[in-house]
Chain A
Amino acid sequence: MQPILGVSFVLLLVSALGIISASAQTGARAQAPEAASAPPLKRLIPGEEFLPAALRAMQADDFDNPAYPFVEAGESAWSKQEGAAGKSCQDCHGAGAKNTVKRAAASYPKYAPDVKQVITLQTRINLCRQNGLRAPPLPAGSGEMAAMTAYLRWLARGSMPSVDVTGPAASVFERGRTLFQSRIGLLKLSCAQCHDERFGQKFGADTLSQGHPLAYPVYSNGMGRLLSLHERFRMCNQLARAEVQEENAPDYVALELYLSWRAKDLPMTAPGVRP
């Protein structure tokens, strides 16, 4: 009898703990967007936690961060007059402390009513160039595009992703979520198998992260250049021996939207440094 009583007491105690824990979980869920159920990760861990200490330190110090010159190039391009309209980005959006789009990068990908689709920051930059500056678009993968995205994402550093996955963005978001779970390529691997289920484990020389997009664009130390988020997607696709897609391909926009929502309680850290 005695041991059973003891067990019951433990059970009671543990039940109480369980209830506290369950209510804490409900609290966290209440902040999640209504359109989406709870994210699969119990705890969000920034990508920097999975880096070798030297790279983490390099990223944290703007003087050491090799991506920082891109931020500076983007900042000077911001105030440079370009195109037939004779304007600069600054003429519409302001600069420095008066920059009215300081946190805007955190809200992309975003549904744009003017083009009636979900677009990335890159696409917004080029729409602004086309309609505002009357200047030619910056080619995907160009140094100018890398600089402008690095600058705008750096401006939003410290903000949490503020993506809207409801309304007209809901179907794109669901597409992204489905893609994340889909087994692809010759090796039939999904994003989730590595980045939901195996983060922290060693893959080759690297440690698998949770796959948050917050540090992008990043400077790849090994490749000696800036990588866009969609270029990282292509590298992952190649590891799974799957088809790669173009910058701003609908699948990649959907995946970026899903990943940004999934990371929504972590701050942006762009521009990052990676192996």
Chain B
Amino acid sequence: MRNVTFLTAALWMAIAAGPLGPGNANAASCKRKTAGFYLLDTNSGAPRPLSVALQGLPGSLTGAPGDAERGRDVLVNRQKGDCLSCHKVSSIAGAAGQGAIGPALDGVGAKYSDAQIRQVLIEPKALFPDTIMPSYYAAAGGSASVLTAAEIEDLIAYLRTIK
């Protein structure tokens, strides 16, 4: 019974924290205040770190291992993967131009297997239902796929080098 009371109180607090609420629920993320607006106060949305146990998708799409050097170009190239628009990779210079829509990819190669990374690239929403990350590979290929099978494998090979 007391749990229910607590829940109700929490619910009211959530509602009260709306337009008239203190608005500082994310005070830590209020980077700066200008002209009376808190830039991040309504939408802090710091990406969650990649830390869950991921299901994998074993088996190279091309039947061969990828090439890490070509994979780096897939990651950086704005016409290909353009991964840096949303993810930070500290080992690549130019942090100012790297986004933070998704989690930083530092250490991704040590944490996850080829199969797990392949699953995320092909169908991220299967693992993270709320993610904005699109699918980068469609089996139908051609213009329906962001990257080719070879580019996916190259990208996996490069991501595994980010330890």
Contact with B along A10-50 (1 / 0, CB 8 A): 11001101101110110010000000000000110110011
- Considering the complex, give the chain A residue whose CB is closest to the CB of B135: A188
Chain A contributes a number of interface residues (CB within 8 A of B) equal to 42
C-alpha gap A43/B23 in the complex (Å): 11
Cα A22 to Cα B14 in complex, Å, equals: 12
Please state if B12 and A22 are interface contacts (CB–CB under 8 Å).
no
Q: Which residues of A contact B15 (CB under 8 A)?
A: 18, 21-22
**A200 and B20: CB pair below 8 A?**
no
B132 CB-CB contact with A under 8 Å = yes
A4 contacts chain B at the CB level, 8 A cutoff:
yes
Question: Which listed residue, B2, B37, B100, B134, touches A187 by the CB 8 Å rule?
Answer: B134
What are the residues of chain B within 8 A of A202 when measuring CB–CB?
98-101
Q: Are B43 and A203 touching (Cβ within 8 A)?
A: no
A264: shortest Cβ distance to chain B, in Å?
Answer: 17
Asked whether B34 is an interface residue with its Cβ less than 8 Å from the other chain, the reply is: yes
Please give, as numbers and ranges, the residues of chain A lying within 8 Å of B99 by CB-CB distance.
201-204
Interface string of A172-198 (1 = CB under 8 A from B): 000000000000001111000110011
Residue A18 contacts which of B12, B35, B84, B132 (CB distance < 8 angstroms)? B12
A8 interface residue (CB < 8 Å to B): yes
Chain B residues with a Cβ closer than 8 Å to the other chain, count: 37
From known contacts A186-B146, A201-B100, infer whether A14 and B43 are also in contact, taking CB-CB under 8 Å: no
Q: Does A204 lie within 8 Å of B84, measured CB to CB?
A: yes
The answer to whether A42 touches B86 (Cβ under 8 A) is no
| Residue A54 interfacial (CB < 8 Å) | no
Contact partner, B9, options A14, A189, A197, Cβ 8 Å? A14
Q: Chain B interface secondary structure, helix, strand, loop or mixed?
A: loop
Given contacts A21-B15, A204-B99, A205-B97, contact A8 B37 (CB under 8 A): no
Which of A10, A15, A18, A28 has the most C-beta atoms of chain B within 10 angstroms of its own C-beta?
A18
Residue in chain B with minimal CB distance to A196: B43
Q: A18-B16, A204-B97 are in contact. Are A186 and B45 (CB under 8 A)?
A: no
- What does the 1/0 interface line of A115-132 toward B look like (CB < 8 Å)? 000000000000000000
Asked if B132 and A10 sit within 8 Å, CB to CB, the answer is no
A7 within 8 A of B: yes
A residues within 8 Å of B by Cβ?
A: 3-4, 7-8, 10-11, 14-15, 17-18, 20-22, 24-25, 28, 42-43, 45-46, 49-50, 56, 186-189, 193-194, 197-205, 207-208, 239, 241
5 tightest A-B CB contacts, nearest first: A17-B16, A21-B20, A187-B134, A202-B100, A14-B12
